[in-house]
Amino acid sequence: MSEAIYTAENKKTFAADGIEILFFTIGDKTYGIEIKYVNEIIGIEQITVVPKIPDYIKGVINIRGKVVPVISVRKRFGMEEIPYDDRTCIIVLEFENGTQVGVIVDRVQEVVVVDKATVSKVPDCKNVNANKYIKSIINSADDIKLLLDCDKLIMSET
C-alpha cells in the first residue's frame, strides 16, 4: 500500500492507470479534486457580493477581465467559516462547457498521481444527503481521502 501514491514526477509512468488529483484541506480533513477541472490557483481576492443568491456562493471576483463566481467549500459543507488568511486559496475550476467557478479552500496541498486501483466507489446510501458531493474514496498509505465530485459540488442546486 505504501506505493499507492506517486509523486508528480512519476506521473508519466503511471498516468495510464493513475489519475492526477489536487489535494486541499478544509479544517483537518483532506479532499481531492481531479486536476482536469483545475484552471489555476490564486490567493484570496476582493469578492463582490451578489445579492439574492444562496449563501455558499460568496459573490464574484475579477480574474483578468472575466467575472467568475466563487463558492465557499466550508459553507457548502455546512461548516463554520473562518477568517481568510494568507494561505486561503481560490481554486479556479473550469468545466467542459467553459463555465469557470472559484472554490475557496483553507489550504492547497499538492498534486499527486493516484493509482486507480486504490480508488474505490462510495457506497450507495438510501439517504439522499449522504455522500452527495463525494465521487470516490482514495485509500492512501497514511490516510483516507475523499475525491470530490466537482459537478455536484458546483452545479447541484441544493
Partner 1 sequence: MAKFEAGMESMVDMYIFETTSLLEQLDQILMKTENQSSFSSEEINEIFRIMHTLKGSSAMMGLENMSKLSHSIEDMFFIIREENPVISDMRSLYDLLFNASDLLKEEIELIQEDEYTATDFSEAMGKIKSFAAVLKGGAPAAEAAPSAPAAAQPAQAAAPAAQAQASQNDLTTVRVSFDDDCKMENLRALLVINKISEECEKLEYTPADIENNPETAKEIIENGFIVKFKPSSDTDIDTVLSIIADTSNVKSYEVLEMGHVIELVGTINVKVTFEEECKMENLRALIVVNNIKEKCKTISYEPADIEGNTASAQTIIDNGFIIHFTADDPKGVIRMINASPNVKMCEILSAGDAAPAAPVQTAAPAAQAAAPAQTAAPAQAAQEAPAQKSVEQINNMLGNKGGAKQSLISVNLNKLDTLLDLVGEIVITEAMVTSNPDLKGLRLDNFQKAARQLRKLNSELQDTVMSIRMVPISGAFNKMTRIVRDMKVKLNKDVDLIFEGEETEVDKSIIDQLNDPLMHMVRNSMDHGIEDTAEERIAKGKPPKGKLTLSAYNSSGEVIIVIADDGAGINSQKVIEKAERNGLLTKPMSEYSEKEIFNMIMLPGFSTNEQVTEFSGRGVGMDVVRKNIEKIGGSVSVDSKWGEGTSFIIKIPLSLSIVDGMEVSVGQSIFTIPISYIRESFKVKPSQLVKDTDGSEMIMIRGECFPLIRLYELYDLEPGISDLYEGIVILVEAEGKCACIFADELIGEQQVVVKPFSSLLNNFNVKQHGMAGCSILGDGSITIILDIGNIIGDF
Interface positions with partner 1 (CB under 8 A): 46, 48-54, 57, 60-62, 65-69, 97, 99-101, 154-155, 157
Question: Rounded CA gap, 155 and 158, in Å?
Answer: 9
CB of 61 to partner 1, least distance (A): 7
Specify the residue, 30 or 100, whose C-beta has the smaller distance to partner 1.
Answer: 100
Nearest to 23 by CA among 158, 156, 140: 140
Contact 119, 132 (CB under 8 A): no
Compute how many other C-beta atoms are within 10 angstroms of the C-beta atom of residue 135.
20
CB of 52 to partner 1, least distance (A): 4
CB of 63 to partner 1, least distance (A): 10
Compute how many other C-beta atoms are within 10 angstroms of the C-beta atom of residue 108.
18
CB of 151 to partner 1, least distance (A): 12
Specify the residue, 10 or 48, whose C-beta has the smaller distance to partner 1.
Answer: 48
Beta strands in the chain (DSSP E): 5-6, 18-26, 29-34, 38-43, 57-63, 66-72, 89-94, 100-105, 107-115, 119-121, 134-139, 144-148
Specify the residue, 75 or 107, whose C-beta has the smaller distance to partner 1.
Answer: 75
Specify the residue, 1 or 49, whose C-beta has the smaller distance to partner 1.
Answer: 49
